[in-house]
Amino acid sequence: MPSRIRLEIVVFMLIRVLTNTMHRMVYPLLPAFARGLGVDIETFALALTARSTVGAASPLFAALTDSRGRKTGMVFGMVLFLIGVGVVVVWPSFPVFVAALILTTIGKYVIDPSIHAYLGDQVPYARRGLTAALVEMGWSLSFIVGVPLAGFLIARWGWLAPFPLFSVLALLSIGVLAWWLPDSAGETLSTPHIFYNISRIFRYLPAVAGLMVGAWMSAANETVNLVFGVWLEDAFGLRLTALGAASMLIGISEFFGESIVGWITDRVGKPRAIAGGLVLNSLAALALPRLGTTLTGAFIGLFLFYVTFEFSLVSSIPLMTEIMPTQRATLLAVYAAGLSLGRALAASFATWLFAWGIGASVLAAVGFNFLAGVALRKAKIP
């Protein structure tokens, strides 16, 4: 791999640590933000709902990358992110904070597919699993490094403290992308009509099948993800301690999953890696009730569950970059929206299902993984 590509990957990973820290920090630090902004938890939750709703419209923004260029998409997304974090510094109020959540989310949903589409243009398919894994480490590192740093700043100087730092780093990122990142000579730009790009995806069976893989896989994860805290509380009565340790465990398991992708996925092939990950994730889910007889066993089971999910998910990204090369960024953005829809589907009944115990939850997860495996058979590159 050329040295310039390696350096670009490091830059992309660091940018994603920044954008993902903003995206993820609101969950563990929610009480601090709510107190600082003078609103109750229920009102703050409405802001997160508004942010999630924006995710469904992300393909409309990310599709610009296919018609205007990858570099343009990254800079545009980063400018939106800068505006989002910058306005909070100038006008620190709850309505502005909600606007910041929305703007930074749109920016993230433009930046992420633009980065993977850019690397899809530059890196051969046979090596794309490694590049996807390295870039996606920006997701896990945001939880391992970025969120604790934001928490430290808030503890010392108040809820507003991370935003000046985010603004400076965002401005620096824009400068790096605009003046240092070359225009992608290898990119294949599609028609400038956004809705045509999106509609073409839904007329192509392998692309639709790939979207279904992501949606079912995400639903399988969310079926357990939404209830594991309640499960730990009911089983061990250690709510704060257990959930705090479990949150750290999730970030570490994500990092491990991404690392394994970089080591294995290109060697065994993307579809085979995804299929293997789905099988292992199902086995990890089935082991949860038995391992969960002790707190240590529950943590081990959750670690295995999240490692195998992250491995499957990140292994799917390079496959999605090659199914429709002329609509790479658009397909990746629709794929991200599909992941959100899968989570929403599982969220609609996950807690109801848990009334029958963790065994019912893991059986549902296995069922969703099976559907993902069926869809995978049709998700083929041209």
The reply to whether 125 and 34 lie within a common domain is yes
The reply to whether 110 and 151 lie within a common domain is yes
Q: Angle at CA 12, nearest 5°, toward 335 and 306?
A: 55
Question: The domain containing residue 139 runs over which residues?
Answer: 3-179
Q: Mean pLDDT score of the chain, rounded to an integer?
A: 88
The reply to whether 227 and 254 lie within a common domain is yes
**pLDDT value for 109:** 87
The neighbour count for residue 107, using CB atoms within 10 Å, is: 26
**pLDDT value for 243:** 53
**pLDDT value for 355:** 87
Whether residue 208 is contained in a domain is answered as yes
**pLDDT value for 98:** 93
Residue 153 CA to residue 130 CA, distance in Å, equals 33
**pLDDT value for 240:** 47
The reply to whether 98 and 132 lie within a common domain is yes
Identify the weakest region by mean pLDDT among 9-13, 88-92, 178-182, 280-284: 178-182
pLDDT in tens, 30-61: 788 988 999 887 788 778 777 777 766 777 77
Residue 239 has pLDDT above 70, yes or no: no
Per DSSP, 357 falls in state -
Q: Residue 151's closest CA among 141, 167, 140, 162?
A: 162
**Residue 350: which pLDDT band, with cuts at 50, 70 and 90?**
confident
Q: Residue 381's closest CA among 136, 190, 125?
A: 125
Residue 71 CA to residue 200 CA, distance in Å, equals 23
Backbone torsion region of residue 69, taken as left when φ is above 0, otherwise alpha when ψ lies between -120 and 50, otherwise beta: left
CATH of the domain at 12: 1.20.1250.20
The stretch 257-282 carries a mean pLDDT of 96
Q: Which two tokens stand for residue 188?
A: 């294949």
The neighbour count for residue 161, using CB atoms within 10 Å, is: 17
pLDDT in tens, 192-227: 566 777 888 999 999 999 999 999 999 999 898 878
Residue 71 CA to residue 113 CA, distance in Å, equals 11
* pTM as predicted: 0.88
Residue 241 has pLDDT above 70, yes or no: no
**Residue 244: which pLDDT band, with cuts at 50, 70 and 90?**
low
Whether residue 36 is contained in a domain is answered as yes
Residue 285 CA to residue 239 CA, distance in Å, equals 21
Contact 17, 138 (CB under 8 A): yes
**pLDDT value for 59:** 72
For the chain, the helix, strand and coil percentages under 3-state DSSP, each to the nearest 5: 85, 0, 15
Whether residue 93 is contained in a domain is answered as yes
